[in-house]
A = this chain, B = another copy of it.
Amino acid sequence: MTNATLPDVYQEYLDALLESGLLIASGVPGVYGKGQVFEDILDRVNRGAAESGRDLQAEVLSFPPVLNKKLLEKTGYLQSFPHLTGTVHSFFGNEHDHAAVLDEVAAGEAWTARFSSTDVVLCPASCYPVYPYATGTLPVGGRTIDVQSYCFRHEPSGDPARLQSFRMHEFVRLGLPDDVQAFRDMWLDRGQVYLKALGLDVRAEVANDPFFGRGGKILAESQRGQALKFELVVPICSTERPTALVSCNYHQDHFAQKFDIKTSDGECAHSACVGFGLERITLALFKTHGLTPATWPVEVRRTLGL
């Protein structure tokens, strides 16, 4: 759905978030600062997500918002999602080139044309840096990793829940196919339990990623046909088009092949991940329960430790 076709309710919710200081406009759709109340709720949502997986005794990692560019080349992300990618460029020129850049800035011209690609890109999903990290042979029983980072997807939108820059908390499982699928299915349940405890009207749906181009339609159908991706969706600005707050993905051997991750038996491992969209869950809470956490239902406040 393009901006032009978004019903008024999206803009109305965004306006309310900006007026209340929960979000702060940047002049770019999908890029917002956050006020203290928003951040406090997001922190609590994040701690709750971590708590949902505490018994897994996962290894806990955190990555910066930029990744090695080679990692994106290797994963196949550029094949599937070139339109969402963010590459990072900088200025490598001399003082003469610099003067030209400043002239272009002053004239309102495209000064970035003089910038060249650096070795980094923006991280598209928190689990990406986990796969090269896990290269090698897994211990018996596989490996479970808890990981978070800021993610970027180039999809400017007037929907306040479709951010270009957002935080994702993921649990990643690497191991035997059966273990990995059981992990994905377990999180379909745990995710719903958590979102229900937050008073959200959640349901699980088979889903697909937004693959690029005509070939992408075939990839999307294949992903749905094999039920590799599930989303836990909650109405924010629309009941007909609810928003995915959590996604549960079974990658088969896609990442393990590319990064040479083997089970303790020497077979190619499989992987799955579950991602909690922290801004989206927070935005669903403010839409469902109102802009003032002090007035939220007692059970929701208790879940969040408020």
Q: Which residues of A contact B (CB under 8 A)?
A: 24, 26-28, 31-36, 39, 59-71, 73, 78-79, 82-93, 95, 98, 101-102, 105, 110-113, 115-120, 122, 129, 132-133, 150, 152, 154, 156, 163-166, 212-215
Distance of A117 Cα from B63 Cα, bound (Å): 24
A103 to chain B, nearest CB (A): 11
The 10 A-B residue pairs with the shortest CB-CB distance, nearest first, are: A112-B117, A64-B165, A82-B91, A36-B60, A90-B154, A65-B65, A33-B63, A27-B68, A95-B213, A86-B88
Give the residues in chain B near A213, CB-CB below 8 Å: 95, 98
Partner of A26, one of B79, B113, B129, B154: B129
A115 to chain B, nearest CB (A): 5
Give the residues in chain B near A36, CB-CB below 8 Å: 59-61
A89 and B89 in contact, given A102-B79, A105-B73, A133-B24 (Cβ under 8 angstroms): yes
Residue in chain B with minimal CB distance to A83: B91
Give the residues in chain B near A27, CB-CB below 8 Å: 68, 70-71, 132
A47 to chain B, nearest CB (A): 12
In the bound complex, do residue B65 and residue A150 qualify as a contact, i.e. CB atoms below 8 Å apart? yes
In the bound complex, do residue B87 and residue A26 qualify as a contact, i.e. CB atoms below 8 Å apart? no
In the bound complex, do residue B150 and residue A214 qualify as a contact, i.e. CB atoms below 8 Å apart? no
Give the residues in chain B near A34, CB-CB below 8 Å: 61-63
In the bound complex, do residue B112 and residue A66 qualify as a contact, i.e. CB atoms below 8 Å apart? no
A261 to chain B, nearest CB (A): 16
In the bound complex, do residue B78 and residue A111 qualify as a contact, i.e. CB atoms below 8 Å apart? yes
Distance of A116 Cα from B85 Cα, bound (Å): 11
Residue in chain B with minimal CB distance to A78: B105
In the bound complex, do residue A24 and residue B117 qualify as a contact, i.e. CB atoms below 8 Å apart? no
Q: Could you list 10 A-B pairs, sorted by A, with CB under 8 Å?
A: A24-B63, A24-B133, A26-B68, A28-B120, A31-B64, A31-B120, A33-B61, A39-B60, A83-B90, A86-B88
Residue in chain B with minimal CB distance to A42: B62
Give the residues in chain B near A79, CB-CB below 8 Å: 102
Distance of A68 Cα from B214 Cα, bound (Å): 32
Distance of A62 Cα from B165 Cα, bound (Å): 13
Distance of A61 Cα from B37 Cα, bound (Å): 9
Give the residues in chain B near A67, CB-CB below 8 Å: 26, 31
